[in-house]
Structure 1
Amino acid sequence: MLLLLSLLALNVVASLVAGEHPIVLGSFSFPARTPFKPLLLFHAFLAVLLLSSIRRDREPLAANSTSSKNLLRIGVSIGALTALAYLPSFWVNFHELDWTHRHNGAGINSWNAFWNLFSKAQPDGMYRPLAFLSFWLDYQVFGDTLWGYHLQSVAIHSANAVLLLLLAQKLKLSTWTASFAAILFGWAAIHFEAVLWPAARFDLLATTFLLLSILLWLQHRQSEKAYSWAGAGSLGLYVLATLCKETAYSLVVLIPILYWVLNRSDRPREQADPRPYLLALALCTVAMLGVRYSIYHGIGGYAYGTAAASASFSFRSLYHLLLYPLTYGGFGINNVFLHWSGAAVLFLYVAGVLLWYWRADSRPARNLGFFLGMAVVAAIPVFPVIGWLQPTLQHSRHLYWPSAWIALGLAVALERSRLRLPIAALFLGAQLLGVFYNQSVYLRALAEIEGQTTRIGAQFPHPPQRLNLVREAGEENGIFYYESELAHRLSQELPHTELRICSAEQHCEGQTLAWKVDRSGLQLTRRSGD
């Protein structure tokens, strides 16, 4: 098994060196233009190995008690380290309004607008009013100062890492395992889109309320009363989570699973009757779905104009549900036009996985399967769109909540390794470098846009009245609002020129700037008009 895993790792390395090459498995061939598919196969086989080797005759390592003071120190350290990992994000700023949703924040300027946020349909077809209030708060404080919109996102993500630490402790994982899971979640390279893009804060906020809800539910479970303030608080936080993103609805399945698993392994002498809470949880779910139905005459969903987005329920989407949370929930980097530093990070990660599997206990603890299963369940509400994930890791934000459970599972698996500390350092190093690399892709793109638009501006001593911006055939770099930022910077360089964005199929009269992105970066070429 280690040999086959090594061959799949070699396939990942080959994709870094040779570029496009076919993956051949018997009579099946899969074309691979980037490391995306080789890494997917590598992760998928690793998941199969782990799930098939879970031992059932051995309990996980016993949790050691940690004082509140020490736990506070660990939590503060993890929160600070997580925030530092996203320090470069403050320099990643796009002027497109949807980058920050500041136009939506500015629109909440009266009690009527506030009420409409909760009672009227939103343009994108989603019902996430509470998250939009956070954009309103950003706008009140920062206005059009774009870097300020990152503060909430980075702070919330850091808080989520700390909350995961507390959840791991409540689930009676060892302090080392809980700490590793928390920092792994904080530094997970796959999270960069959810944290870097201020408008993706829906995932962050929903996860915050879900983690808090589970923590209060665990407290309620320890009480002898069927009704408690902790139980009510848990339900209230669940409702708040559903007002942030649809992933929150996974809790209605996660909590019963937790009840069943925890009662089998750690049933308290006295605990609350679970039925009232579970009934209330179901009623809250029905009520919130009812609200959505009354507003959208359905459950809502992505829609642009009159056309629904290409999300659909199918066997393919179910396949993606089982595949992507387990294969990309733990690690991923933008692997289109992979820079040498990104290739080094990917090589470091693959080497760390091989070393870990080689030196790990041959039969990991049984709660590993529980955590991996919880990750799949957590992804159920987004399974129609989870297949949108690209080699650029665009749309990876949908894996944010499921990856919390992946982090717990990986930490449980790693705690049995014979070289636990060096392998943990290798794992975390690869994640941290991956986070920096994913952010650097955006920083390099913005630098290229600035450099190319400055160069073009210098070529027009007498700017034309009209200029067309046309995209040529090229690759996707996965950066949201890239073209609109390019147009914005050109408008700044040529303030008296009317800039029009045209498709390659359109016939636009006048001078033209053709642009495309390839391995060498942004190519912006001036062309004569008709």
Structure 2
Amino acid sequence: MDSQPQQPAHDVALHTRRAMFLLFGLVLAVFGISITFDFVNWDDPWYIHRNPLVQSWSFQNLYGICTETVTRNFAPLTIFSYLIDHSLWGKWAGGYHLTNVLLHGINAVLVFLLVRQITTRHVFALVVAMLFAIHPIQIESVVWISARKGLLSSTFILLSLLCWLKRERTSQDELSGTILFVLALMCKASAVVVPGIVFVYDIFVRRRSFADSLARQFVSGLLAIWFILLTAGSQNSQTGGIRHHLGLNKLEILGIDAVLMWKYIGMLLWPTDLAILYDPAIQGIGLAIAISVFAWGMIAVWIWKTRKSQPLILFASLSALALMFPVLNFFPLTTLMNDRYLYLPCIAFFALMVAAVEYVYHLGVAGALSQRSPRSVESSGAS
């Protein structure tokens, strides 16, 4: 994932427009059919039909959107987006699906821009964004209307990271990034990981000091802590959002997570048998846990050893881990495993996968050239 020299500005603008049209076209081609789909009886009634907050633009409703939790989540911007949809489409589900599709298209473009900004590689970024745009693992996030909070939050997360993840950034970039981070939090609390991602980038990519990197995330960190406490309070309300998985302790959860992370990688590499609900084994998997932990340990050692020569590999790996952290059940959730948990983490995986394929390809080309060179010398000598 090394960087390359920059192209002239007019060429970059032209290629950017083409990439944007391509990505939006792919998203519409793959997910456009969802506008013919209906609502589902899984959270949709509580967010839309039975939610009085989205029925009108009264002051009481607007105040409620800003202050109340819905289905155990404080996500005012997400609920506000449903209010807009209800005003435009009423009870026609296709309009809500269209909003989701458009948000996913925007996110695909933002992924392209972010990866290109970090790596300065146009084609590499486009391939990563294309995989993000059309991979089957994204179906749940895009087609399920109630998954809106993840889509909308991702939009502001990506915009915030576009401001923050620059080798040379201004105070205006940091202010804009912080504001966009707050907007992401108001869509879904899992955006709390953004300061951690920026901190890792500053330490390992920008090579800034620990103290300076930490200080720059002080305000964002306080906001993240506040939203964590706010969300924990709503999840512990009378409606209840926490289900302790058979009383498992944190160490047991960590072992299960090690296995699940390999399952997630398998789903990204070979997306078959995807489902809306998974019931992964949590008993009798001691050997699987041991192998998984050992394998992750070996990978972690290799990544750490290459951190100076390949800092983007470490950054991508830690970013994926940070984005997965809210759903690893250290703060217990109602489900252990879901496709939608991979919506943003898959970006880092795709980047690492494309880089690995590219590396293997170049090794093969180099090997082929080295085998041909002696023959070329002999031919030259004979002539």
Where on the TM-score scale, by shorter chain, does this alignment land: which range?
Answer: 0.7 to 0.9
For 1:64 and 1:232, the matched residues in 2 are separated by 26
Q: Who is 1:115 aligned against?
A: 63
Q: Who is 2:379 aligned against?
A: none
Query: Which string of whole-angstrom CA distances, capped at 9 and with x for unpartnered residues, describes residues 317-365 of structure 1?
Result: 32344444554253433357xxxxxxxxxxxxxxxxxxxxxxxxxx9x9
For 2:128 and 2:82, the matched residues in 1 are separated by 29
Q: 1:387 to 1:406 in 2, by over 3 A?
A: farther
Q: Who is 2:132 aligned against?
A: 185
Q: Who is 2:195 aligned against?
A: 252
Equivalent residue of 1:72, what SS? helix
Q: Give, as a single letter, the amino acid of the residue that structure 1 aligns with 2:196.
A: V
TM-score for the superposition, normalised by structure 1: 0.54
Equivalent residue of 2:217, what SS? helix
Identity %: 23
Work out whether residues 246 and 382 of structure 1, in 8 Å CA contact, stay in contact via their aligned partners in 2: no
Work out whether residues 320 and 386 of structure 1, in 8 Å CA contact, stay in contact via their aligned partners in 2: no
Larger Cα-atom Rg: 1
Aligned residue among 131, 138, 147 for 2:78? 131
Query: Which string of whole-angstrom CA distances, capped at 9 and with x for unpartnered residues, describes residues 178-226 of structure 1?
Result: 111000100121111010101111111111111100111135x524x5x
Equivalent residue of 1:134, what SS? helix
Q: 1:316 to 1:404 in 2, by over 3 A?
A: farther
Mapped pair 1:305 → 2:248: no
Map 1:270-419 onto structure 2 (within 5 A).
Answer: 274=213, 276-289=215-228, 292=230, 298-301=232-235, 305=239, 308-310=242-244, 314-325=250-261, 327-328=263-264, 330-331=268-269, 332-334=271-273, 366=310, 367-384=312-329, 388=335, 395-418=338-361
* Superposition deviation, residue 93 in structure 1: 1.4
Q: Give, as a single letter, the amino acid of the residue that structure 2 aligns with 1:314.
A: K
For 1:386 and 1:373, the matched residues in 2 are separated by 22
- RMSD of the alignment, in Å? 3.1
Aligned residue among 168, 173, 184 for 1:241? 184
Q: 1:280 to 1:307 in 2, by over 3 A?
A: closer
Work out whether residues 108 and 136 of structure 1, in 8 Å CA contact, stay in contact via their aligned partners in 2: yes
Q: Who is 1:60 aligned against?
A: 2
Query: Which string of whole-angstrom CA distances, capped at 9 and with x for unpartnered residues, describes residues 210-263 of structure 1?
Result: 1100111135x524x5xx222111001111111111220111211110111212
For 1:83 and 1:325, the matched residues in 2 are separated by 30
Q: Give, as a single letter, the amino acid of the residue that structure 1 aligns with 2:4.
A: A
Query: Which string of whole-angstrom CA distances, capped at 9 and with x for unpartnered residues, describes residues 415-456 of structure 1?
Result: 224289xxxxxxxxxxxxxxxxxxxxxxxxxxxxxxxxxxxx
Q: Who is 2:110 aligned against?
A: 163
For 1:183 and 1:320, the matched residues in 2 are separated by 31
For 1:172 and 1:371, the matched residues in 2 are separated by 11
* Superposition deviation, residue 281 in structure 1: 1.7
Work out whether residues 72 and 239 of structure 2, in 8 Å CA contact, stay in contact via their aligned partners in 1: no
Q: Give, as a single letter, the amino acid of the residue that structure 2 aligns with 1:114.
A: L
Equivalent residue of 1:388, what SS? coil
Consecutive unaligned residues of structure 2, counting only runs of 5 or more, are 276-305, 364-383
Equivalent residue of 2:344, what SS? helix
* Superposition deviation, residue 141 in structure 1: 0.5
Equivalent residue of 1:171, what SS? helix
Higher strand share: 1
Q: Give, as a single letter, the amino acid of the residue that structure 1 aligns with 2:93.
A: L
Work out whether residues 107 and 155 of structure 2, in 8 Å CA contact, stay in contact via their aligned partners in 1: yes
* Superposition deviation, residue 95 in structure 1: 5.6
Higher helix share: 2
Equivalent residue of 1:379, what SS? helix
Q: 1:308 to 1:172 in 2, by over 3 A?
A: closer
For 1:250 and 1:286, the matched residues in 2 are separated by 10
For 1:400 and 1:155, the matched residues in 2 are separated by 15
Q: 1:248 to 1:399 in 2, by over 3 A?
A: same
Query: Which string of whole-angstrom CA distances, capped at 9 and with x for unpartnered residues, describes residues 125-162 of structure 1?
Result: 22112111111111111111111111111111111111
TM-score for the superposition, normalised by structure 2: 0.72
For 2:333 and 2:348, the matched residues in 1 are separated by 17
For 2:274 and 2:178, the matched residues in 1 are separated by 40
Q: 1:372 to 1:209 in 2, by over 3 A?
A: same
Consecutive unaligned residues of structure 1, counting only runs of 5 or more, are 1-58, 268-272, 337-362, 421-530
Work out whether residues 210 and 248 of structure 1, in 8 Å CA contact, stay in contact via their aligned partners in 2: yes
Q: 1:116 to 1:143 in 2, by over 3 A?
A: same
- The more displaced of 128-137 and 81-90 is 81-90
* Superposition deviation, residue 377 in structure 1: 1.5
Q: 1:310 to 1:396 in 2, by over 3 A?
A: farther
Aligned residue among 17, 29, 32 for 1:87? 32
Q: Who is 2:95 aligned against?
A: 148
Q: Give, as a single letter, the amino acid of the residue that structure 1 aligns with 2:239.
A: G
Q: Who is 1:478 aligned against?
A: none
Equivalent residue of 1:263, what SS? coil
For 1:128 and 1:150, the matched residues in 2 are separated by 19
Query: Which string of whole-angstrom CA distances, capped at 9 and with x for unpartnered residues, describes residues 466-504 of structure 1?
Result: xxxxxxxxxxxxxxxxxxxxxxxxxxxxxxxxxxxxxxx
Mapped pair 1:195 → 2:137: no
Q: Give, as a single letter, the amino acid of the residue that structure 1 aligns with 2:35.
A: F
Count residues with an aligned counterpart: 315
For 1:184 and 1:306, the matched residues in 2 are separated by 36
Q: Give, as a single letter, the amino acid of the residue that structure 2 aligns with 1:171.
A: I
Q: 1:259 to 1:388 in 2, by over 3 A?
A: same
For 2:238 and 2:131, the matched residues in 1 are separated by 36
